[in-house]
Amino acid sequence: MDTKKALDFETVELDDPNSALVIIDQTLLPNEFTYLHLTTQSEIWEAIYDLKVRGAPAIGIAAAYGAYLGIKGSIAKDFDSFYKEFKTVKDYLASSRPTAVNLFWALDRMDTCVQNNKNKPIAEIKEFLRRESEEIKAEDVWVCKTIGEYGLSLLRPNIGILTHCNAGQLATAKYGTATAPIYLGTEKGYNFKVFADETRPLLQGARLTAFELHKAGVDVTLICDNMAATVMANGWVQAVFVGCDRVAANGDAANKIGTSGVAILAHNYGIPFYVCAPTSTIDMECPTGKDIHIEQRKPEEVSEKWYAKPMAPKGVKIFNPAFDVTESKFISGIITEYGIARHPFKPALEEIFQKKAASKK
């Protein structure tokens, strides 16, 4: 199958004439492929909280469109009132999920756009916001493709690759981050054998990664999270690629719960473990993984969500962190759109940001 055709869907889109954010309802996949047209702020907030749209870059894009739509109908006559309204919209959307830094990064970009244009008429500021949100999405396509090219340079044909959660097309505007080298390699006939961890409790690996890779004609095998050691011990995995929600300045990386265990296993079996991270996911203000706010989610996601009947005794204590932090010592490289950072990560990441700054001049 032609991967370009298989990836021919939009994860997040702006329908400006109808003032709507258009997303695929990812909670219904793989059984139903349904687009939602969200027009109110509470619909957009809930779509992010409920993981109808999810994955760090896609959350950022959705929030940018949400901020534009939230302020598009403003009847404010002066900048101060307009900016006050904008801040209310921004703060509300920012409260939808805490870990993925792209949410705050995208909203801050929209904020900067408002402030940089404060002397312009309100109608023009709104137009700048629309353009900025479209720019955030367009940039993500380039970012993911470039991460894919750097990632692919580390790989050879016919190898086994393991991934965790969904850092794919469904988590970004296109290509995904961890899946980008897989898609680009598949277009070149690399014939990778991909193992997708199912990703308890919300099954992003089973419902989303297996779905999109299979649709794209990639050789993908779904495994339960607790089978990763077995496929590694069997010698079936030569590299691990994962996405991330926030990378701290020292290279510690927060990603979907279970990622850290995969990294420790990869270390044990001598398998390189790569984190694919757009620079929008790297938070140099955050010194280490210990400073990353980890989202705690509802206990029912563990005990009942995907079952016909509850699968845990009523009233039992449940711990449900959505993410964990992989210590940088288990990470072989952090693949960004400005190159691959390696140990020691702090100066390497600083250099990545210097390259980014230089490219903007």
Which residues are part of the catalytic machinery?
Answer: 245
Asked if 212 and 180 count as a contact pair (C-beta separation under 8 A), the reply is no
Closer residue to ligand MRU (CB): 215 or 256: 256
Rg (CA), the chain: 20
Residue of the chain from 204, 250, 280, 328 that contacts ligand MRU (CB under 6 A) = 204
Instruction: Select from 17-25, 61-69, 71-79, 169-177 the region that touches ligand MRU (CB under 6 A).
Output: 169-177
Residues between 239 and 258 that touch ligand MRU (CB under 6 A): 243-245, 255-256
Residues between 55 and 114 that touch ligand MRU (CB under 6 A): 55-57, 100
**One-letter amino acid for residue 179 of the chain:** T
Asked if 256 and 323 count as a contact pair (C-beta separation under 8 A), the reply is yes
Residue 20 is a binding residue for ligand MRU (CB under 6 A): no
CB of 122 to ligand MRU, least distance (A): 34
Residue of the chain from 101, 167, 196, 352 that contacts ligand MRU (CB under 6 A) = 167
CA distance 13 to 196: 27
CA distance 125 to 76: 12
Closer residue to ligand MRU (CB): 56 or 196: 56
CA angle 238/244/250 to nearest 5° reads 95
CB of 244 to ligand MRU, least distance (A): 6
CB of 191 to ligand MRU, least distance (A): 24
Q: Which two structure tokens, joined as six digits, stand for 135?
A: 């720019």
Residues between 264 and 293 that touch ligand MRU (CB under 6 A): none
Q: Nearest CA to 148 among 185, 170, 180?
A: 180
CB of 331 to ligand MRU, least distance (A): 14
Closer residue to ligand MRU (CB): 113 or 165: 165
Tracing tokens 């702006």 back to the chain, one arrives at: 14
Closer residue to ligand MRU (CB): 56 or 61: 56
Instruction: Select from 49-57, 230-238, 260-268, 336-344 the region that touches ligand MRU (CB under 6 A).
Output: 49-57
Closer residue to ligand MRU (CB): 133 or 204: 204
For 224-285, the three-class secondary structure string (H helix, E strand, C coil) is CHHHHHHHHHCCCCCEEEECCCEEECCCCEEEECCHHHHHHHHHHCCCCEEEECCHHHEECC
DSSP β-ladder status, 246-248 and 253-256:
antiparallel
Residue ranges in contact with ligand MRU by CB under 6 A: 51, 54-57, 100, 165, 167, 171-172, 176-177, 204, 243-245, 255-256, 322
